[in-house]
Each structure stands twice: as structure tokens, then as C-alpha cells.
């Protein structure tokens, strides 16, 4: 059965309704799309693995959730979509690996291609957040916590996902959205 596509424009920002494929243009649009009890998941995209983080129900705190080891496109899309449903995820915040000058490089294209397929499969929208320097911040946090290098590498992606998501949660709080 074909999916019904309905989009709604509110104050110039795209809002997700009933499976519309959406890239939110603002933090306001992201949060206005959420239904009661839905959470936001942060994603630090990688070619071999993805760090995941989850918001608390009040959208104040991002917590590292886990590390997803990528397999193949079909399996990744299915497993991540099932995870979103299980955890009550209503929207994604995906780190966009911009160049130091703010331009998009090759990896940004890979992130966009993957997320296009992911939102088609899962039916939830996403917001891209600049992720420059989050890996360095995550590595430093792990080092300050006394983690050894190998253990640090295993948590860096989860911490990066939490940092990416926390930036958006903090922005929403500053704007009075949450």
C-alpha cells in the first residue's frame, strides 16, 4: 500500500505530518513536529559505525545511547527504523560534518544520501546540526574521565552524538521552545 504524503507549512518552517519526508529548517519546526512522549535521537554518522544519543522526555538532557555497527544499507535502515519505533523517537538530529570553512565536503553528501533513505524508511524527519569539532570534544571528555585510548575510541561516537543532540536541546531551551 502506498504511503500517503502530507506536508504542512507553519510560519515558513516545514512540519512533519503523517510520514512526510522532511528535513527541518529550524529547531522550532523540529520541536513543533513532536507528539506527546516522543523523544529526539542524536546521530553521529560514520561509514562503519554510528554513535547514538537519546533525549530525555523533557528535552533537557542528551544521553549517550549506544553504538550502531553498520552492515549493509538494507539491514541498517531496517534495524535503525525498528530502534526508533522501540524508543519512541519522533525526530532525529544528525551531525553534518562540515569543513572548517563551513562548506560541505564529500562526507556530507554520504550523510545526506543515507539520511534520505532513512527518513523514507522510518517516516520521521530530521534536523542537521553542524558537528565540527565534536569528535575532538568527545575525545577530550573521555580522556579527562580517565578512559584508556581503546575504551575512549569506543565511546567517542556515542559522546559525539550526545554533544550534537545537546547543542540542539540547548538551542531549543534558549529560544523558549522547551
Burial class (CB in 10 A: 0-12, 13-18, 19+), 176: exposed
44 or 156, greater pLDDT = 44
Burial annotation 74-100 (CB, 10 A radius, 16+ → b, else e): eebbeebbebbeeeebbbbbbbbbbee
**Structural domains of the chain, ranges and CATH numbers in brackets:** 6-174 (3.30.420.140)
pLDDT tens digits, one per residue of 109-160: 999 999 999 999 999 989 999 887 666 665 666 666 666 665 555 668 898 9
Predicted pLDDT of residue 18 = 39
Strand partners, 54: 41, 63
| pLDDT reported for residue 100 | 87
Amino acid at each position: 500500500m502506498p504511503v500517503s504524503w502530507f506536508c504542512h507549512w507553519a510560519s515558513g518552517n516545514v512540519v512533519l505530518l503523517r510520514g512526510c519526508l522532511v528535513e527541518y529548517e529550524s529547531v522550532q519546526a523540529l520541536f513543533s513536529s513532536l507528539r506527546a512522549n516522543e523523544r529526539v535521537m542524536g546521530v553521529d554518522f560514520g561509514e562503519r559505525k554510528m554513535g547514538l544519543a537519546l533525549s530525555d522526555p523533557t528535552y533537557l538532557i542528551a544521553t549517550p545511547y549506544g553504538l550502531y555497527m553498520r552492515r549493509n544499507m538494507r539491514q541498517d535502515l531496517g534495524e535503525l527504523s525498528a530502534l526508533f519505533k522501540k524508543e519512541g523517537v519522533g525526530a532525529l538530529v544528525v551531525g553534518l560534518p562540515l569543513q572548517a570553512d563551513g562548506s560541505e565536503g564529500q562526507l556530507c553528501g554520504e550523510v545526506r544520501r543515507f539520511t534520505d533513505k532513512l527518513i523514507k524508511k522510518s517516516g520521521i524527519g530530521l534536523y542537521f546540526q553542524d558537528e565540527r569539532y565534536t569528535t575532538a570534544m568527545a575525545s577530550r571528555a573521555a580522556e579527562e574521565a580517565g578512559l584508556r585510548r581503546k575504551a575512549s575510541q569506543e565511546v567517542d561516537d556515542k559522546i559525539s552524538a550526545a554533544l550534537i543532540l545537546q547543542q540542539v536541546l540547548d538551542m531549543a531551551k534558549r529560544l523558549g521552545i522547551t
